[in-house]
Amino acid sequence: IQYAAEPAAAVAQLARVCRPGGTVAIGVWGDPARCETEALFARLRSLAPPPPGTPAPLGISDAGVVESLLEKAGLAVTGGEEVPASLSYDDHEQAWTAHASAGPLQKVIEIAGAEAVRQVMHDVLEADRKPDGELRQDNVFRYVLAVKQTQPGSA
């Protein structure tokens, strides 16, 4: 749901297709301040600003947002947590292959051109290069679990 145009509608569909007693798990980026990859996203937004009114993709990462969407869809939140997630690359070409394959990046490439996007990625990764020389971005992801009630009022 991280990149859905309407996250509430996406969660409602997850709830709809989940069997009674089944679990829905949603994973999203964690706190943007603790995600080094957010610097890449911010620079990419400067190349291809989203249309007015487009929700910020990491806005759904704010505390309580996913939980609220699940509850509004009739699911009972049962747990979740944050997990560290580092993105490591042997070199800039490997990073380009990994990132350029993602749907959101494809749109930026279409608008700004591959070379402009490649340069931004290079600059951001160099800024995040670790003291030992590793090309790595340290991030956090979080997941939330919710159960579809078997009958109204039960968990």
Check: CB of residue 2 under 8 Å from CB of residue 142.
Answer: no
| Residue 136: strand pairing partners | 88
What does the alpha-carbon distance between residue 40 and residue 117 come to, in Å, rounded to a whole number?
A: 10
Mean pLDDT of 58-73: 92
At 124, the pLDDT band (50, 70, 90 cuts) reads very high
pTM: 0.81
5 band by pLDDT with thresholds 50, 70 and 90: confident
Listed ranges 30-34, 59-63, 97-101, 144-148; the one with the highest mean pLDDT: 144-148
User: Is pLDDT of 54 > 90?
Assistant: no
Round the average pLDDT of the chain to a whole number and report it: 91
CB atoms within 10 A of CB 2: 17
> Using 50, 70 and 90 to split pLDDT, how confident is the model at 74?
very high
Q: Is a pLDDT exceeding 80 seen at residue 153?
A: no
82 - beta bridge partners?
142
Question: What per-residue confidence (pLDDT) applies to 102?
Answer: 84
3 within 8 A of 57, measured Cβ to Cβ: yes
Does the structure show a pLDDT above 60 at 154?
no
